[in-house]
């Protein structure tokens, strides 16, 4: 019985982590604020630590969050240097 309870807690923790990790960034920031405020109201941590907790929980953990890396931002087209433009243009030398 105890073994099943421990396995259930591990599975629940893994599911919570997966949901938190792939949650949209806006939702994660809101949930982090609510969780930190709840722990402060319950008297588990002081106000300073609650702010640190909210900031820590709201951070992204790399790719998949789309709010910090900027890889989805539109990129400006690269311009060719003038030397390459002249070299690649058709010339009048071959009549």
pLDDT tens for each residue of 77-87:
556 666 555 55
The verdict on residue 78 lying in a domain is: no
Question: Are the CB atoms for 7 and 37 separated by under 8 Å?
Answer: no
The verdict on residue 43 lying in a domain is: yes
The verdict on residue 32 lying in a domain is: yes
More confident residue, 37 or 79: 37
The verdict on residue 6 lying in a domain is: yes
Confidence at residue 71, expressed as pLDDT on a 0 to 100 scale: 57
The verdict on residue 38 lying in a domain is: yes
Number of domains composing the chain: 1
Residue 31, domain extent: 1-58
């Amino acid at each position: 019985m105890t073994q099943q309870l421990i396995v259930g807690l591990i599975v629940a923790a893994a599911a919570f982590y997966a949901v938190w990790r792939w949650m949209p960034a806006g939702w994660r920031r809101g949930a982090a604020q609510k969780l930190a405020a709840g722990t402060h109201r319950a008297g588990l941590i002081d106000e300073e630590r609650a702010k640190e907790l909210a900031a820590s929980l709201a951070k992204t953990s790399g790719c998949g969050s789309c709010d910090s890396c900027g890889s989805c931002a539109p990129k400006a087209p690269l311009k060719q240097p003038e030397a390459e433009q002249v070299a690649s243009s058709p010339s009048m030398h071959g009549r």
